[in-house]
Structure 1
Amino acid sequence: MNRELIEITDPYDERIAPYRDIRERDLVGRQGLFIAEGRVVLNVLFSTSRFRAQSLFLRDNRVQGARDLLERVPADIPVYVAGGEIMDEIAGFNIHRGIIAVGERCSSQTAEELLDSLPENALVVALSAIANHDNMGAIFRNAAAFGADAVLLDSDCCDPLYRKAIRVSVGAALKVPFAQAGKAQEMTALLHARGFDVLAMTPQGERDVSEVSLGPRTALLLGAEGPGLDSGLLEQWPTVKISMREDFDSLNVATASAIALHHIWLKR
C-alpha cells in the first residue's frame, strides 16, 4: 500500500479539528457534515454517491487491518493516523473502534423529488416524531433489510445522520434514501398525492399488518415511542397493528417496524 498517512501528534492540530469533542458537537449539529465510525459503516460511505468523506482518521494499531478499506479511499481524501491516547483526547472519549471519518452530503433531495424518483411499485417508511437516535438507526437498518425504497421524516424527527444513529443502522442511514417532509400531516398528504396507501401503525389498529392487502405503493407510518401517532393521523388513515397478548401494551417502535416490514416484504 503506497497510501500517504498523515501522522497526528498534537491533539490541537487544526487539520483534525472536525474530530474534536465529537459528542458535544453532535448535539448541536454539524451543518451538513457527520461522523461515521467503524469499518462496516465506512464501507457503505465509500460505496455510495449520496455522501462523500472529507477525511479519514485511524488509530495507529488499526492501520494494518484497514488496508482493504484504505485502498478504496480516493487519493484526494487525507488519511490521518494517531496513537490511542491522542485520538481519544481529540474525540473526548475512547474511540474503541479506532476508525472514523467526517462525511458530507453530496446532494439533498426534497421529499417531493425523492418520491417522484421512486418506481411504480414502492415502499416508503414514514416517521413521525422519532426522537430517539437508537430507534432511528434501528428503523433505518430494518428499512434496508426489508427493501424499503425510501424513508420520509417529519420535522419532529431527530437527524438520521447523528453519529449514534448511523452506527446503530450499520450504515443503512447512508444507504436508504431519505428526506424531511414538514409536519406529519403534510408528509402523509404528500404520500397520498403521490399514490401511496398510508398504513398507520398503532397497538389499537383495525387489522393485523399481516392481513393487509397491498397496493403497488405503500407507506408504513410509525410514531414515537410511548405516545405513538397523533390521534388526527389515526383518524385519517387506515390503522394496522401487530397482534400480541392482550395483557401486554406494545412493542418498541424499532422492533415493531421490523415485524411489520417483514410482513410487507413477504407480500411484495
Structure 2
Amino acid sequence: MIDASDPRLADYANLRDVELRKSLEARHGLFVAEGEKVIRRAVAAGYPVRSVLLTRRWVASLSDVLEGLGDRVHVVDDAVMEEVTGFPVHRGALAAMERRELPSVAEVLGSAEGPRRVVVLEDLVDHGNVGAIFRCAAALGAEAVILSPRCADPLYRRSVKVSMGAVFAVPYARMTDWYGGLAELRAAGFRTLALTPDQSATPLDRAVMTERVALLLGSEGDGLSSRWLREADEPVCIPMSPRAMDLGVDSLNVVAAAAIACHGLMRGR
C-alpha cells in the first residue's frame, strides 16, 4: 500500500508551493500535467511520462496511457493524494512528464516559412494568465509565443491546467536578453505592435499589418516597460467605451486584452 511518504511520489509533493516546485521541477527537468485531457495532450505532444499518480476511479479511463508504464503507475486513495499534493485533486489524475529542451527564439521564429503572427509577453508573472494567453493564442490563430526572461513558466502546473494543454500546441521560446529582445524580432522581419491602455495610441484595427507581426503584451501591473514601448514600431490600443472612465475602468485585464488583440492580430492573414 502506497502512503504519502513513499519516495516514488516525490515528483508530486506540495504542488501549491510555487518556489519549492520551481526549484524541484528545474532540478529534475519535469512538469506536472493535471486531469485526463491535459495528460492525454501532453502525451500526444510527445512528452515522455515519468510516472502517473491517480485514484482508482481514473484507472479505466486512462488505461491506454497507463499501458506499458508498469511500476511507474501509482494508484492511491483521495486522502493520500491530498496529503502528497497539498490540496484536493478534483480531476483525480496527475502525470509527471519529462521536459524537452526549449528551442531558441531564432529557432521558433524560423525562416521565411516560419510564423507570421506571434505574441510576445513581457514579465507576466501569474501562471494562470500565461496559460490563459496560450489558450487565446491557440484558439485565435497566433502561431508562436515569445517570453521575456522573467515571464512565468508555461509548463508550471497551473499554466498547463488553465491553458487546457494549449502550451503543448503553440511553439514558444524564452528570450535570453530582455534588453535587446525586440531587435531579434526585427531581425526576423517582424513589425512590433505594443499594446497599451493609452487611448491616444493607434486603435488596433487601424494599425499597419505587414506580413509578419508581433504583438507585445506587458505585465499584469505596469504593462509594457518604457523601453519596449519606445522601441516598438507602433503603440496600439483597444478602443474603450466613452463611459469607461466614468465607471472607473481605464483598462482591461491582460487576458481579456490578449483575447481581443489576438483576434485583431489575424487581420490581413
Please, what TM-score do these two structures have when normalized by structure 1? Answer: 0.89
Structure 2 residue runs of 5 or longer lacking an equivalent are none
Residue type of the alignment partner of 2:14? D
Residue type of the alignment partner of 1:18? D
Instruction: Please give the alpha-carbon distance, in whole angstroms, between the structure 2 residues aligned to 1:61 and 1:162.
Output: 25
Q: How does 1:219-258 map to 2 (within 5 A)?
A: 219-237=214-232, 238-246=234-242, 247=245, 248-258=249-259
Instruction: Please give the alpha-carbon distance, in whole angstroms, between the structure 2 residues aligned to 1:126 and 1:138.
Output: 14
Q: How does 1:188-199 map to 2 (within 5 A)?
A: 188-199=182-193
Instruction: Please give the alpha-carbon distance, in whole angstroms, between the structure 2 residues aligned to 1:12 and 1:249.
Output: 50
Please state whether the residue corresponding to 1:199 is helix, strand or coil. Answer: strand
Residue type of the alignment partner of 2:98? E
Structure 1 residue runs of 5 or longer lacking an equivalent are 1-7
Q: Is the 8 A contact 1:149 1:176 kept in 2?
A: yes
Residue type of the alignment partner of 1:242? I
Residue 45 (structure 1) aligned to one of 19, 42, 46: 42
Distance change (3 Å), C-alpha of 1:233 and 1:44: same
Residue type of the alignment partner of 1:128? E
Residue type of the alignment partner of 2:217? L
Distance change (3 Å), C-alpha of 1:29 and 1:214: farther
Provide Cα deviations, 1:235-262, integer angstroms capped at 9, x if missing partner: 2211111001241310001110100101
1:81 aligns with 2:75: yes
Residue type of the alignment partner of 1:45? A
How many residues get paired? 257
1:164 aligns with 2:158: yes
Please state whether the residue corresponding to 1:46 is helix, strand or coil. Answer: helix
Distance change (3 Å), C-alpha of 1:202 and 1:97: same
Instruction: Please give the alpha-carbon distance, in whole angstroms, between the structure 1 residues aligned to 2:95 and 2:187.
Output: 39
Single out whichever of 69-78 and 178-187 deviates more from structure 2: 69-78
Corresponding residue of 2:25: 30
Instruction: Please give the alpha-carbon distance, in whole angstroms, between the structure 2 residues aligned to 1:207 and 1:133.
Output: 29
Residue type of the alignment partner of 2:146? L
Q: Which runs of 4+ in 1 moved over 6 A?
A: none
Shift of 1:29: 4.6
Shift of 1:218: 1.0
Instruction: Please give the alpha-carbon distance, in whole angstroms, between the structure 1 residues aligned to 2:78 and 2:221.
Output: 40
1:209 aligns with 2:210: no
Please state whether the residue corresponding to 2:266 is helix, strand or coil. Answer: helix
Instruction: Please give the alpha-carbon distance, in whole angstroms, between the structure 1 residues aligned to 2:222 and 2:261.
Output: 19
Residue 186 (structure 1) aligned to one of 180, 185, 188: 180
Instruction: Please give the alpha-carbon distance, in whole angstroms, between the structure 1 residues aligned to 2:127 and 2:55.
Output: 26
Please state whether the residue corresponding to 2:40 is helix, strand or coil. Answer: helix
